[in-house]
Amino acid sequence: MRVNFSKGSTQSEAQLQSPPLSPSSPYCQIRFHFHISAESAGSLRVLMQQAGGSEAILWSRSHSTVSHWSPEHLPLGLHQQPYKVLFSGMNNAAASHVVAVDDISFLNCEKSYQPPALASFGCSFEDGLCAWVQGAEDQLDWLSGAGPTQTSNTGPAGDHTSSKGKYLYIESSSPSIKGDSAQLKSSLLPPAGEKGYCFSFWYHMFGATVGSLKMFLQTSDPLEKTLVWQKSGNQGDEWLQVQSHVNLQKVHQVVLEAAVGGEAGDIAIDDISLSPGACPVSDLCDFEDGSCNWEQQAASDSEWIRHQGYTHNPYTGPESDHTTSTPTGHYFYLPSSSTDRAGQKAAMFSPLYPADKGSCVQLWYHMYGKGMGTLNVYQQSEDGKEALIFSQTGDQGLLWRFARASLLPRLHPYRIVVEGVKAGPTQEGDMAIDDVQLTDNQCPPRGFCDFEDTMCSWSNLGEGVDQGDWLHGSGGSPNPHTGPSVDHTTNSTQGHYVYVDSFVGEWGVSSFLVSDVLQPSTRGHCLTFWYHMFGNHVGTLRVYINNRKMQAGGDEVGLLKWTETGNKGEKWQMANVSVTHDEAFWFVFVYQRGRMAGGDVALDDITIIPGSCYTEPSIDHSDNKGISSYL
């Protein structure tokens, strides 16, 4: 069935109405194909008409379809009385266009219908989409892939299941544009039940301009959509697992939505599974299902609170947790108030760990606000003796930061203690922790990063400030005649470093890599790093320092401390920068691309230690160009 709206037509709407439909099960769906011409100036809507005559809009689409015919599965839900479904083609008379529908059918609408077991909704995508369907309210479709994606230096090298099978991905290069999205929807799932179920999938988000991947739970009665997990930006060249404990007590769908961030931003998913009950216990404590047996210290002056979303005070605290990056995720925080006293403490302690468990503790912390105090992490023996293994003080910016600390040798069981120390009366000092984990791998020394397993505490900047991420790499650059062939730490193709992909972005665009906030020291600080600048079109690498006062006063770039430009040969070179500062500050590496591709720049083995370096670099202060604010 099609409607031709001619230019200048006075007809505003055409309707296609179903006969009265029998009462239906909660799992009832309508399936149809539709087409909206590319030059369309109208829209297609699906409405439901109840027995009493009231109407509700279920679905609407106003832009052209991705392919000639697009399929859609639309939940209709439980109906106790007969009802009707209407298709409505709308016209704004500005241009000629065509709206068409075909192959209308109804699925699982019998009152006696019962869904299959949860496990049947899993999928490895080796043989199609299984019980999953493409969304139709988006601009892109998920594509089936095997091996590398079409765009170089982004996407996986193979699937997660076997490295030789298939996965789903979105293609970020042209004709896709920034902001385009693709949805993948499950069939209608039953209420989660008393113990809920574990929804698990693997994702891959690697590239200089990766967009976002989100997981929603969507109900049909009423029609509500809740964000339960999301990630954005480059997450490294590896498959990562998400496990979400679903407790929704309504018929619902899971929706996975990926959005394009730029031309080098392919996003892939694989190996979806659903299993009854909570997700398997892991060494990671994300506080999603409780406190992981962490307890408040009885002698504390105040308490840490398990929380979701914003904290109650303005201008402080996180907007969401670290695990899910959503307002529904959980974390622990220590609230601040106008009645706080300087030095007032609150502590939480972990369960007792065996002496042979763990070499390194890692966690994510959030310390944003002008009145921020101090976060301390201790290793505590069974008899209560404590050793300080990590400490951070003051405002660290509006973001979750990564910390890890080496555990001391021990012969007996021990605990980890997290302590917040308040700076005084203020409502701008909420501090938070999330995702605490013990690992058996050794921590690198404090202030040192060799990038072998993570980015340590160095952060890429998002939110549109920079135009491409620093990437975690190893071996030779995927781009010809540029970049390192080995890392500096191990001098091998297995070792890791960070680099900027010069084939992404235009001349002059910049990528930022930002350190932790550092406290002032009378001895100053020494930044030492190894850099690699090889290629015919290498741009400029700069090192700045900045602080809150300079930034608040309009000096967005801070002080230039070091700069290097152009091709320096196929070798790693060392540089160091001495700084003295009487306020808390941070380092920023900024790489500005050259005129053409072929200018990858890499960094490795970055060290920041108190004290002066042996030599001072010379710089041209006229190069202190403005760059937009980043913290």
Distance between CA atoms of residues 450 and 454, nearest Å: 9
* CATH for 285-439, options being 3.40.190.10, 3.40.640.10, 1.20.1250.20, 2.60.120.200: 2.60.120.200
Q: Tens digit of pLDDT for each residue in 82-94?
A: 999 999 987 765 5
Instruction: Identify the residue with better confidence: 78 or 203.
Output: 203
Q: Tens digit of pLDDT for each residue in 427-473?
A: 999 999 999 999 999 998 889 999 998 899 998 874 443 467 899 99
What mean pLDDT is predicted for residues 318-344? 96
pLDDT at 342 over 70: yes
Cβ–Cβ contacts within 10 Å for residue 230, how many? 17
- CATH no., domain 2-107: 2.60.120.200
Cβ–Cβ contacts within 10 Å for residue 139, how many? 18
pLDDT value at residue 464? 44
Instruction: Identify the residue with better confidence: 9 or 225.
Output: 225
Exposed (0-12), middle (13-18) or buried (19+): which is 319, by Cβ within 10 Å? Answer: middle
pLDDT at 148 over 90: yes
pLDDT value at residue 94? 59
pTM as predicted:
0.85
What mean pLDDT is predicted for residues 306-317? 96
Distance between CA atoms of residues 99 and 89, nearest Å: 7
314 preceded by cis ω (within 30°)? no
Sketch the domain layout of the chain as residue ranges.
Answer: 2-107, 118-280, 285-439, 448-623
Give 7's pLDDT tier (boundaries 50, 70, 90).
Answer: low
Instruction: Identify the residue with better confidence: 68 or 327.
Output: 327
pLDDT at 10 over 90: no
Q: Which CATH architecture has domain 118-280?
A: Sandwich (2.60)
Read off the tokens for 581: 């500062």
What mean pLDDT is predicted for residues 550-575? 89
pLDDT value at residue 626? 42
Look up tokens 């998002």; give the residue.
462
Distance between CA atoms of residues 605 and 453, nearest Å: 12
Spell out the CATH class of 448-623. Answer: mainly beta
Distance between CA atoms of residues 576 and 378, nearest Å: 32
2-107 shares its CATH topology with 118-280: yes
Q: Which has the closest alpha carbon to 220: 41, 422, 56, 454?
A: 56
Look up tokens 């590398």; give the residue.
148
pLDDT at 410 over 90: yes
CB 15 within 8 Å of CB 88: yes
Read off the tokens for 63: 């832009």
Q: Tens digit of pLDDT for each residue in 209-262?
A: 999 999 999 998 777 899 999 999 999 999 999 999 999 999 999 999 999 998
Distance between CA atoms of residues 16 and 369, nearest Å: 57
